[in-house]
Structure 1
Amino acid sequence: MRFTETPLSGAFVVEFDKIEDDRGYFGRAYCAREFEEHGLDPTIAQVNLSGNFAKGTIRGLHYQAPPHSEVKVMRCINGAIWDLIVDMRPDSPTYLKHFGIELSSENQKALYVPEQFAHAYLALTDGAQAFYSASAFYTPGAEGGLRYDDPALGIDWPIPVEIVSEKDASWPLLG
């Protein structure tokens, strides 16, 4: 596996090495030992699958507040998504900075999202599906969110946001 750190400290793009032959390919999508060797939390408490009917659907920006913070490892298994994270660590030099990357069934990249990062993804194709692990159980009272269109964040989404839940549209603005 290959781990490439993003401009936001602690967040990594994870790629697997493909072994190909006339049948297709094989590659390790996850290895707790390799995650630990890179200083990453290998814990998996739950695995989630999220499907989207239409291109332009956004989910997020979500996070869980301490002590219920969670690590996520995001992967797109059908179609393509724009995966975006925002550093919510107040003591971080990249506080409120964001990073986005296309994850797709074609490029097979994953994004390691550290604790105390807000996370969202935007479906770039109809039928996009995300498959992701979380290091902690979802705790409803610990959930928080940021508006995807908050001017204080200055996020330039690659395509227009067409479908957003009422909950995600109603998070308060930062400033």
Structure 2
Amino acid sequence: MTIQERTTAADGTAPCDGTGTGHRAVGAAQAPGANGPWPVDIGEDAPAARGGHVLAEAEGGAPDVVLVATGADVHIALAARDILQREGTATRVVSMPCAEKFQAQSEEYRDAVLPPGVRARISVEAGVELGWYAMLGGAGQSVGLAQFGVRAPYRELHQQSGLTAERVAAAARTRLHRAT
């Protein structure tokens, strides 16, 4: 399976381990990567079972920016986080394999993952951007692919359409500036 052939469970869950996409299996997933597949726990007690969780915490205190991504797009968010952290912007990455499951969690849990005080939120999604806006709030932005039907290797598609860590970092800088 290639990374652009993302499969999801019937409930829409697209698990990841920060390196790629998951193959659905009973209680686990296989995430392909440069050194082969790694098992990814998607059982009842796994963080992914709650629909969304903090994958990489902001260094240096509370986050200034939250990047939210799913499945195969998490690596872009993690790379953007690296850029922003080097610039001194405390950046959290949230893995959101299933927004519906996340919305079903307690308000306390949702606020712990997506702090209400952090208005600079960016979603990273190779699919449809529309569903993200409710979670991003008024100062948020969705960075994604705005076209469908184009065929090319995923890296080439991402570069051509601007779904890159650099674009995500630029969107985060802009939104952080507007939110303050």
Q: Same fold (TM over 0.5)?
A: no
Structure with the largest fraction of strand: 1
- Bigger helix share: 2
Greater RCO structure (CA 8 Å; 6+ sep): 1
TM-score w.r.t. length of structure 1: 0.27
Which TM-score applies when normalising by structure 2? 0.27
